[in-house]
Amino acid sequence: MSIKDEEAFDCKMCGHCCLGKGGIVVGPKDLARICAHLGLTPQEFEVAYGERRCGKLMIRTDSDNYCIFFEKDKGCSVHVAKPDICRAWPFFRGNLIDSDSLTMAKDFCPGIRSNVTHAEFAAQGVRYLREQGLLARDRNAEARALIIDDDEAARLAQDCPLSPAGTR
């Protein structure tokens, strides 16, 4: 297998992506999936685990700044029902369109292959997001990190990454 054929990302279950107050957006699909998993109504979920910021439902963090569902040495307690934004990591829009953003993500996340090129990462990322149905459209309800328009996705999937300004 050549380096080009290797996966750009292999999750190490380290929890680094569960740390921080950046905001795990819970879109409508996520809310239904998590509520079914936890046996809660959307209202019960929001009271117990959520907070509203900028009109979007977000998962709260604990006092240690980890996602409220992250358990040390166990991982995500809602893994099978986790939000799309979590399912998509590290294939966020910023990492897909900006090589500097990917470089920072590589420093942060041990699961991103250190020698992956930006073009290779972007192509694999768009393919993964499409296959998993994780590309978002609704800026008002879903995570903006997953909103990639059709033209961007087509260019990225062809190993032709965009500059941050959206030009080649």
Contact 160, 102 (CB under 8 A): no
* Dihedral sign, Cα of residue 61, residue 59, residue 25, residue 158: positive
- Compute the distance between CA of residue 162 and CA of residue 168 in angstroms, rounded to an integer: 5
| pLDDT given for residue 104 in this prediction | 97
pTM above 0.85, yes or no: no
Contact 42, 31 (CB under 8 A): yes
Q: pLDDT tens digits for the chain (168 residues)?
A: 344 558 999 999 899 999 988 779 999 999 999 999 999 999 999 999 999 988 889 999 999 999 999 998 899 999 999 999 999 999 998 999 899 999 999 999 999 999 999 999 999 999 999 899 888 776 665 666 677 776 776 677 675 444 343 333
